[in-house]
Amino acid sequence: EAEVAQSPRYKITEKSQAVAFWCDPISGHATLYWYRQILGQGPELLVQFQDESVVDDSQLPKDRFSAERLKGVDSTLKIQPAELGDSAMYLCASSTLSGGSPFGQFFGPGTRLTVL
């Protein structure tokens, strides 16, 4: 069964350091999402890509966060510099417009970030 891949699964860093997370969506899925989930809360969208284009980054803290999906396949989310409040689970999801495919967003296992 096709899955969304993410790495690393866990990341511990000190504040002011740079961190990067990687996501590989399900093959053929043109839409890719990065969500942030703070402990005890539901996920919130940070950025959404359609192929290589950003379609929604309204909740992305652009002074320190950046995201790219250069070839419209895998994606990287970067934080520089990391702050204590960035400690959270970062989830990647993908979906497709294809009518014959399962409807819905499919999530990867997430990256648990701890900022010390």
Q: Which residues bind another protein (CB under 8 A)?
A: 4, 6, 31, 33, 35, 40-45, 48, 50, 56, 91, 93, 95-97, 103-110, 112
Q: How far is the CB of 55 from another protein (least distance, A)?
A: 8
Q: How far is the CB of 68 from another protein (least distance, A)?
A: 19
Residue 81 CB burial class (10 angstroms; 0-12, 13-18, ≥19): middle
Q: How far is the CB of 106 from another protein (least distance, A)?
A: 7
Q: Based on CB atoms, which residue is closest to another protein, 9 or 62? A: 9
